[in-house]
Copies of this chain bind each other. A is one copy, B any other.
Amino acid sequence: MDFKVQLLQRKSKIDKVIGEVFKDKNGLQKTVIEAMEYSIKAGGKRLRPVLLLEVCNILDGDIDYAMPFALAMEMIHTYSLIHDDLPAMDNDDYRRGKLTNHKVYGEGIAILAGDGLLNLAFETMLDSINNDPKLCNRGIKAMQIISKASGINGMIGGQVVDLEWEGKKIDIETLDFIHKHKTSALIEASINAGAILGGAEENQYLELQNYGRCIGLAFQIVDDILDEIGDEEKLGKKVGSDKSNEKSTYPSLYGIEKSKEIVSGLIENSLKSLEIFKEKAEFLRSLAKYLEVRDH
């Protein structure tokens, strides 16, 4: 089957489950639930949950048990975008071609919607763990990986440094810190949590971890490249914003061609880590290659 069809099928399955999470909006606090739903349903590739479920799948893990963890990854990702778009942070009016959360609901509700999604991510994982005590150890370990990746030594750490260095020239070490923490941490955590939930043996875990490190960084460099030479319509946002904000990026430090070479090297490296999984890893292989050539 064509890779893009497979990707779409996986995405649809996740979208369906997301739709069910926000069905009940009857309480006095319904505005915040609407705001959370607005942003989590505002498009998105569902890359993190797709990765988590696929890694669990190639290890013959329990996909039903893993689904709440996949949802949690998307909730955490969405909350980070809502807070990142706020006037006090990146001050963006549009994301994926739609108004950002605070432009629709106001800043106060947007802050609370972000808080609500982070909190709900943990509630969702805990419910799953509580429902199936025999997988408790794997669940706790996966939740631990996810919580570290989203915290001050992970994603939040990256956002802080990104915020502090805005508009200033930065060196490659600082840029790598931001990329690794702000973007790659959640992508890597999706893969590592999926590996734990699938019951990976140590060597399998290490290979998957390397796959995650490579595609996580490659993903962000491609983002930087697309911001410079991408198609606004396909991206659903203005390009060139990094340049006009004088943001240091891979293209600004290395140029477009060299940046593309770095991406190719990372993808190649990621594919080597999949060799031990043979034909089972076909989808993950195609996904890595797709991340290199994606246009949005």
A29: interface (CB < 8 Å): yes
Interface residue ranges of A154-168 to B (CB < 8 Å)? 156-161, 163-164
A141: B residues at CB distance < 8 A: 130
Q: Does A39 contact B (CB under 8 A)?
A: no
Contact at A127–B152, with CB atoms within 8 Å?
no
- Pairwise interchain contact A151-B119, C-beta atoms closer than 8 A: yes
Pick the contact of A116: B36, B87, B151, B174 (CB < 8 A). B151
**B129 and A140 contacting across the interface, CB-CB below 8 Å:** yes
The reply to whether the CB of A89 lies closer than 8 angstroms to some CB of chain B is: yes
Which residues of B lie under 8 Å from residue A143 when comparing CB positions?
A: 122, 126
Q: With an 8 A cutoff between CB atoms, is A136 at the interface?
A: yes
Q: Is the CB of B115 within 8 A of A83?
A: yes
Q: Which residues of B contact A158 (CB under 8 A)?
A: 29
Q: Which of A101-109, A212-220, A227-235 contacts the other chain? A: A101-109
Query: How close is A174's CB to chain B, nearest CB, in angstroms?
Result: 7
> Number of A residues contacting the other chain (C-beta, 8 Å)?
56
Contact digits for A1-26, partner B, Cβ 8 Å, 1 yes 0 no: 00000000000000000000000000
- A119 touching B160 in the complex, CB below 8 Å, given contacts A130-B144, A144-B126: no
Q: Given A122-B147, A133-B137, A151-B116, are A177 and B28 neighbors across the interface (CB < 8 Å)? A: yes
CB 8 Å contact bits of A80-122 with B (1 = contact, 0 = none): 0001001111000000000000000011111110111011101
Inter-chain CA distance A29–B88, complex, in Å, is 18
Interface assignment of A123: CB less than 8 Å from any CB of chain B: yes
B28 & A157 in contact (Cβ 8 Å cutoff): yes
Indicate if the CB atoms of B115 and A89 lie closer than 8 Å: no
Q: Is A208 engaged at the interface, CB distance under 8 Å to the other chain? A: no
Q: Known contacts A33-B152, A111-B111, A120-B151; can you find 19 more A-B pairs with CB under 8 A?
A: A28-B157, A29-B152, A29-B153, A29-B160, A29-B181, A83-B111, A86-B111, A88-B106, A88-B107, A88-B108, A89-B111, A109-B163, A112-B156, A112-B159, A112-B160, A118-B119, A119-B150, A119-B156, A126-B147
